[in-house]
A and B are shown apart, each in its own frame.
Chain A
């Protein structure tokens, strides 16, 4: 396959392919983080995760339109504000959904699957009625387009680097919040034993609501970031949901580290296979490997040790 190419060519392709793998890794982590909190920590199978992401994408689109009409001078920086607004919007919707729907279902985790699936259909139709059935194009500031030329033949996409940076930042924040802050300790306490946590004075209802909102908010930020690399339409959220669950389940539901490890192994396997075989074949082989490993380790890569 490589007989016809020079060493220099191959070298730069491998560097760029390495970056492609890392970008895919960051994309997977970013979309799975919110779900890792909601599904991993709370046990809620949130089928509407993709729709929370797309809410973030639509908020980004609206922000970009507002800036174009009223603040064209500040357009180059709108994306940062858009991400914050996306976090707030998705988080607020998440809080509402938790209050109306999810809190009645904590004792029936399988029912959350149906309820949130219904929610995802409702949200899709709502987006369709509000924003129209067609996809919208989110215009990006000039500096976020194109690629960085590292050498003559090595080019790295700017939006990919941006997503990587964002992923690292959000992962650090989430890890800090969950493992170092007082609130994170409360979340973990509620997860491990809801009744005991309540008995020692933790307001479990409030913790649940905030945890769900945080997960949804992160989904919103992810959706906002993905306007750079993907489409924004009423059903675009469906594009992400399978991969997201794959990453979270494969990593071991309750473990943040597991999510990251699983995103890394899946993305590297897939992007390497994509390069050496073909797109559709890579997907098949990756899924086969995941199924095989899950048969040997049903609890996923990293499992929380708990007394049974």
Chain B
């Protein structure tokens, strides 16, 4: 909030003042005189976005308060780091990125309202934001109506595609299928027990997983259970798991329930070094709350782990820790959040413009070679080509990379045969 300029002056007056005033006197006040050397504003901004000769404004829209703050804090941190780094490297089209941060407060109508405020009042060139599918579904009609650009970082259930959204996380088939193939091959797994939180993402993901297990892997789903968000008691379902003795427990439990589930699983004597468990909802962030000792041995299916051993990641992790503290951990979604501002910058430079229509058209084919996960490319359907990786949780809360697909997996938000 404190990043919001001139809070006292509202709407049109403020905008005029900003636009007019920024051109001349601000240049002398800027700490970095290098900004302002890009192409003329009238060329790169034909739709009245908040772009001056020296600055361009983007929005950050996440929950800094409320129940989702646990998860979204990492995304906010990653996006701020990316913006800082881009500015240090000369900005976008010769302009410094300035951001306005709004709080979605874990409330979906608030997300829609704040998105509208960012697009209509602040005229931001792009929004980095949303986390849950519910918040994205609330914001989607707003960015489509007012023609904004949203960079969405979370792995999600798919079944969506928009000109106005770039999905920097995995859609469901990218996240799940390769992981299931791997565990079926590696562990000879034939029977699966699904347990998830009761909302759209786990249900859609499990539907896809079930089709894959039954039709492709010729295995069997011996149980499929959902618990309301926030449930803290899992002893009954753990007994069911013990009774059905599945080869693999496949989980997409989220939030506080996640912590309860793994603590009780451990307490019930289920040894994850013997019982294979594959999760698509636990990253390094979640392990912070669960405790490494409760989940060590479990497999997670992600595209990024903090422990990845490549040159990009070796630069990214120390930079992140330097800005946000030695103890912070970086999970899959945090990394995907970091991609957003960079992909936007690269797209702007390819398009030679901040105009949303040009950005949307120029996005397919954009490559980001410095991505901490290795390399990503934007597909025609505005999702990313990326690898699927399986990691094994260790006592210290980090993952050890066990498997990664040889090639980038093509995003397929509307998978045929899985509906």
Nearest chain B residue, comparing its CB with the CB of A231: B259
> How far is A158 from B260 in the complex, measured between Cα atoms in Å?
15
Q: Mark B266-303, 1 if CB is under 8 A from A, else 0.
A: 11110000000000000001111111111000000000
Number of interface residues of A (CB under 8 A): 51
The distance from the CB of A107 to the nearest CB of chain B, in whole angstroms, is 33
> How far is A132 from B64 in the complex, measured between Cα atoms in Å?
11
Contact B236 A157 (CB under 8 A): no
Contact A20 B236 (CB under 8 A): yes
Contact A274 B236 (CB under 8 A): yes
Nearest chain A residue, comparing its CB with the CB of B329: A134
Q: Mark B221-256, 1 if CB is under 8 A from A, else 0.
A: 000111110111101111110110000000000011
The distance from the CB of A273 to the nearest CB of chain B, in whole angstroms, is 9
Check: A24 CB closer than 8 A to any chain B CB.
Answer: yes
The answer, among A16, A229, A274, for a CB contact under 8 Å with B232, is A229
Q: Mark A228-245, 1 if CB is under 8 A from B, else 0.
A: 111111111011100000
Given that A17-B236, A23-B235, A279-B231 are known contacts, is A231 also in contact with B256, CB under 8 Å in the complex? yes
Q: Which of A136-144, A171-179, A211-219 contacts B (4 or more CB under 8 A)?
A: A136-144
Instruction: For B226, list chain A residues within 8 Å (CB).
Output: 278-280
The answer, among B228, B259, B269, for a CB contact under 8 Å with A157, is B269
Instruction: For A41, list chain B residues within 8 Å (CB).
Output: none
Contact A9 B267 (CB under 8 A): no
Given that A147-B269, A230-B259, A233-B256 are known contacts, is A135 also in contact with B288, CB under 8 Å in the complex? yes
CB within 8 Å: A-B pair count: 143
- Of the four ranges (under 10, 10 to 19, 20 to 34, 35 or more), the interface on chain B belongs to 35 or more
Instruction: For B263, list chain A residues within 8 Å (CB).
Output: 159, 228-230
Check: B351 CB closer than 8 A to any chain A CB.
Answer: no
Nearest chain A residue, comparing its CB with the CB of B67: A235
The distance from the CB of B117 to the nearest CB of chain A, in whole angstroms, is 22
> How far is A27 from B236 in the complex, measured between Cα atoms in Å?
14
- Give B residues with C-beta under 8 Å from A: 64-67, 69-70, 73, 198, 224-228, 230-233, 235-240, 242-243, 255-260, 263-264, 266-269, 285-294
Chain A to chain B: the 7 pairs with minimum beta-carbon distance, closest first: A135-B289, A231-B259, A20-B235, A157-B267, A147-B269, A274-B236, A133-B69
A-B contact pairs, 16 of them (CB 8 A): A19-B235, A128-B65, A128-B69, A133-B69, A133-B73, A135-B289, A147-B268, A155-B269, A157-B268, A229-B232, A229-B267, A238-B230, A275-B236, A275-B239, A279-B227, A279-B228
